[in-house]
Amino acid sequence: MGFNLRIADKNDEQLWDSIVHSSIQGTIFHTWKWLKITEKHTKGTFYPLICYNGTVPIGIYPIFYQKVLGIPCVFSPPPATAIPYLGPVIANFDSYKHSKQVSIFKGFQQVADDFIFSKLKSKYTMILLGPSVDPRILSWSGYKLDPLFDYYIDLNKGCDQVWQDFDKDARVHIKKFEHIIEKDPNSIEIIDGTRNDLSELYELLVKRYGEQKRKVTESQEFLMHIFDEFYPDNIKIFIVKHEGKMVNGVIIIKYLKTISFWIGAVKPEIKEIPSNEINHWEGIKWACENNFSVFEEYGAGIERLARSKSKYNPKLKVRFKAVRYSSIIYLWATKVYQSIIRNRWGNFFSSK
């Protein structure tokens, strides 16, 4: 039996999602619904690849094709979608012995690369791998690897211990907020965000980026579409208000036993209110009360952001960006695109 690919269609949604849910590599970003929403709001063409070993489906590989400065490129995930990672998912990955995991992934990646470079004729391909994907397979397949970093907290140790593990400054700031609430319960409130709050939070994010002379690439329509399809089962919003006015907020993703800080937690305008610490603590408390096992926060590769996020005593998690290009000219062109255009347009979180 050999490995082969086909492009999935709408009749494959159940098969696609069953593969995603069966694997430690699967995330909510890999689900059919999330990807189809992404397709609608991105400039790229979506190719949902299903890989077979003979007649047995063994994995999925969502890729997006688009031209950048006239250069054919493939991305997984596509730009401007606030998806931290994507790439391949192998069905029932954890059930295989390591040698079998490697051999399946190598065969899978080979036929995927044949499609990407021979059929689509991509000159530049970038794949942001999830933390459970073996990056060596991409390296052996001619990709250049760069590490990316996230933070996570093990919630199984209990909320009390998580609190004790916070830096003293973070605990002091949160306690200060709690004392303010005790004295004047109406001055500051934490609420579950609605669709209208999401719209206001987006405007707040745009304002903060504007102050840095940057623009947000993710569209409000995209976020609203995600909210409409995934709230409340997989989306939750924490909003901090002061005297009825939004100070800060964060959009949280709920998937299986993991809760992830996705978008928000901007630098607050009212510095006297520790709104980021409040959002983190409220999110963690809620996750513990609802039996989640892991708290995850994307983007710990920038020193300034890493220092801020480290006050909650998280552990570091490493994943990889895999890039393959056919000529140094194409690499140069994409770097020009990133430095001249992308650096002036801000993402909601850093992929580093």
Predicted confidence band at 329 (pLDDT cuts at 50, 70, 90)? Answer: low
Query: Residues 115-138: pLDDT tens digits?
Result: 999 999 999 999 999 999 999 999
pLDDT at 211 over 50: yes
The string of pLDDT tens digits covering residues 79-98 is 989 999 999 999 999 999 99
pTM here is: 0.92
Residue with tokens 């707040």: 204
Sign of CA dihedral 284, 289, 294, 298: negative
Amino acid sitting at position 110: Q
pLDDT at 343: 46
Identical topology for domains 3-142 and 151-316: yes
- Is the pLDDT confidence value at 309 over 60? yes
Residue 352, pLDDT above cutoff 70: no
Helix axes 195-211, 220-230, angle to 10 degrees: 150
CATH class as words, domain 3-142: alpha beta
| CA-CA-CA-CA dihedral for 56, 61, 62, 66, to nearest 10 | -120
Domains of the chain, residue spans: 3-142, 151-316
Indicate if the pLDDT at residue 173 is higher than 60.
yes
DSSP annotation of 78: P
User: What residue type is 142 in one-letter code?
Assistant: G
CA triple 128-132-133, angle to 5 deg:
55
Range with the poorest average pLDDT among 6-15, 96-105, 207-216, 306-315: 207-216
In angstroms, the CA 297 to CA 292 distance is: 14
Indicate the residue type of 116. Answer: I
What is the average pLDDT across 172-182? 84
Mean model confidence pLDDT for the chain: 90
Name the CATH superfamily, with its identifier, for domain 151-316.
Gcn5-related N-acetyltransferase (GNAT) (3.40.630.30)
